[in-house]
Amino acid sequence: MEIQEYIIIALKIIVGISIINVWLIQPNKPSKWRGGDATTITEEFNVYGLSNTFYKIIFVIKVGLAILLLISIKYDFLTQYSSIGLAILLGGSILMHVKIKDPLLKSFPAFLFLVMNLTILYLSL
């Protein structure tokens, strides 16, 4: 295996596990990265003016894509679908922070994972 393949695998693991951690393990824990003054993910969606139904839809899609990204380590054909999908959702996260005029620092994790997804995508072509 070449170094590039190891980098792709490492990025997939970092992004996939991090997203699963945020959405499944720590959704109700406060974080300095949450939008506005929210302390949970559901509160964060409320701060953005988004419905509980929209939260549930994004939850399923984001966790599903994170799992697919991890599965793509074995089944490479899933890489582009999962990376592009996550990149779109992470771009939406950044826009939500901008919408409510959060300090730029609060958008940093979304920006970092967006860059990681785009790197995965680029290196996988």
Query: Could you report the per-residue pLDDT of 36-86, keeping only the tens digit for each?
Result: 999 999 999 999 999 999 999 999 999 999 999 999 999 999 999 999 999
Binned at pLDDT 50, 70 and 90, residue 1 comes out as: confident
Mean pLDDT of the region 26-34: 96
**Mean pLDDT computed over 27-31:** 96
- The pLDDT score that the predictor gives to residue 77 is 97
Output the pTM of the full model.
Answer: 0.95
pLDDT reported for residue 12:
98
Q: Which contacts (CB < 8 Å, 24+ apart) does range 77-82 have?
A: 79/8, 79/12, 79/120, 79/121, 79/124, 80/121, 80/124
pLDDT-derived band at 3 (thresholds 50, 70, 90) equals: very high
